[in-house]
Amino acid sequence: MSFSDPKDHLLSSYDYAIDNDLIAQVPIEPRHAAKLLIVENERLGINASRDAQVFDLKDELSPGDLLVLNDTRVLKARLRIRRRGGGLGELLVLEPRGNGKWLCLARPAKRLKPGDEIWLEALEQKPISLKVVSNDMESKGRLIQFPSCYSDAMSIEGLLERYGEVPLPPYIQTHHQNNSERYQTRYAVHPGAVAAPTAGLHLSDELLEALTKNGVHLAQITLHVGLGTFRPLEIENLQELKLHSEWVDVTEDLVKAVDACRSRGGKVIAIGTTSVRALEGAALAGDGKLKPLKGYVDLVIKPGYQFSVVDGLLTNFHLPKSSLLLLVSALIGRKRLLSLYEKAIKSDYRFFSYGDAMWIPPNSVLQKASRSYATEGS
């Protein structure tokens, strides 16, 4: 992997300033009415772009293109607990560790020690006894013993529906009753995420119907979004960067859909960075060829990466110094991305999970990052 600019592998190069009033607190209604920044070909200028609405995406894609959607479903993973002695606390359920044990972030973590009994509580629900099993050094979380019947996301979802809350990001300070519905894509099927694949929040039933009527094909992958996806990075030298792993399911049907898209001359368009990570992770596991994959992916995508599957991307505006910012920079270049972000800020675009969107069409992707360049150069 090579970098055209040494600053591309310094974390400090991916910082930018944003006023709090541009951090979206509530989603736009309808979903497809959010603003859309359409990235133009770099030949037109480093920050060349057009302003539109997400609904206009139906006019940006061509018949035969394939839209890849992440169909993960967000769990109500934020739980209220009572500690021995009466003090209150909170758990954020992250991932199963077998036999009813779950890795959780805990607050106040210092007061939750191995061996402690805690009680899960909710209004009009019977308290449930849980136990702190151990500390987890990597995540700085706690391994919590739930009743053994809650062994995976499917089995625990009913419990979380009764006791839990939607785990909105901390920068969303406004809590509305419709968050349970709006912090979920319209095509969410498989439970397991603790954060939404936010680009997909923009796709309404009406937009999806309009796309299919225009001859655009749809296909689903699953990547259960973990909390680490949205965390700012801490290591300055990005050549040493390692990321958390996330569970993906790239099915045989998805692989066939991508192959069929290629055969008819269409483009593979990822809805969100999570779809990119799942697709490219499965291709990496297949030595450059997309193959079915069910398991964990810890792929780092940053400038210098050459994409094997993805041709274009619909994405949100991401946190400074985040892995998502690196991924988008790999597609269009760090300098161009930051220039476009500066332009979006001046145009009052709304940022982060409930914010507006950016459309990166295939003809705006860096030539050296594209699949066609890799094919021609091989």
Listed residues 100, 131, 165: the one ending a domain? 165
**What is the reported pTM?**
0.94
Share of the chain above pLDDT 70, in %: 96
Spatial separation of the C-alpha atoms in residues 360 and 329, rounded to whole Å:
11
Span 287-308, pLDDT tens digits: 999 999 999 999 999 999 999 9
Concatenating the DSSP letter of every residue in 254-309 gives HHHHHHHHHHTT--EEEESHHHHHHHHHHHHHTTTS---EEEEE-----TT---SS
Band of the pLDDT at 377, cuts 50, 70, 90? very low
Spatial separation of the C-alpha atoms in residues 142 and 193, rounded to whole Å:
18
pLDDT at 378: 41
Q: Answer yes or no: is 170 within a domain.
A: no
Task: Looking at the structure, tell me whether residues 285 and 358 fall in a common domain.
Answer: yes
Task: Looking at the structure, tell me whether residues 88 and 203 fall in a common domain.
Answer: no
The enclosing domain of 211 has a CATH number of 3.40.1780.10
Q: Answer yes or no: is 172 within a domain.
A: no
Task: Looking at the structure, tell me whether residues 295 and 151 fall in a common domain.
Answer: no
Task: Looking at the structure, tell me whether residues 153 and 191 fall in a common domain.
Answer: no
Domain total in the chain: 2
Q: Answer yes or no: is 171 within a domain.
A: no
Q: Answer yes or no: is 358 within a domain.
A: yes
Span 216-233, pLDDT tens digits: 999 999 999 987 776 679
Listed residues 107, 137, 165: the one ending a domain? 165
Task: Looking at the structure, tell me whether residues 189 and 157 fall in a common domain.
Answer: no
Tell me what the mean pLDDT of segment 144-154 comes to: 96
Task: Looking at the structure, tell me whether residues 213 and 351 fall in a common domain.
Answer: yes
Sheet with 357-360: strands ordered across: 49-53, 35-39, 357-360, 312-316, 268-271, 66-70, 217-223, 246-250, 293-297
Task: Looking at the structure, tell me whether residues 56 and 141 fall in a common domain.
Answer: no
Task: Looking at the structure, tell me whether residues 83 and 225 fall in a common domain.
Answer: no
Task: Looking at the structure, tell me whether residues 220 and 293 fall in a common domain.
Answer: yes
Q: Please provide the distance, in angstroms rounded to a whole number, between the alpha carbons at the two ends of the chain.
A: 15
The enclosing domain of 90 has a CATH number of 2.40.10.240
Task: Looking at the structure, tell me whether residues 352 and 278 fall in a common domain.
Answer: yes
Is residue 79's pLDDT more than 50? yes
Is residue 3's pLDDT more than 60? no
pLDDT at 373: 60
Range of the domain at 39: 6-74+180-377
Span 117-134, pLDDT tens digits: 999 999 999 999 999 999
Listed residues 101, 136, 165: the one ending a domain? 165
Is residue 108's pLDDT more than 90? yes
The average confidence (pLDDT) of the chain is 94
Q: Answer yes or no: is 175 within a domain.
A: no
Task: Looking at the structure, tell me whether residues 334 and 223 fall in a common domain.
Answer: yes
Q: Answer yes or no: is 174 within a domain.
A: no
Structure tokens at 376: 């021609």
Task: Looking at the structure, tell me whether residues 49 and 96 fall in a common domain.
Answer: no
Q: Answer yes or no: is 85 within a domain.
A: yes
Q: Answer yes or no: is 42 within a domain.
A: yes
Band of the pLDDT at 2, cuts 50, 70, 90? very low
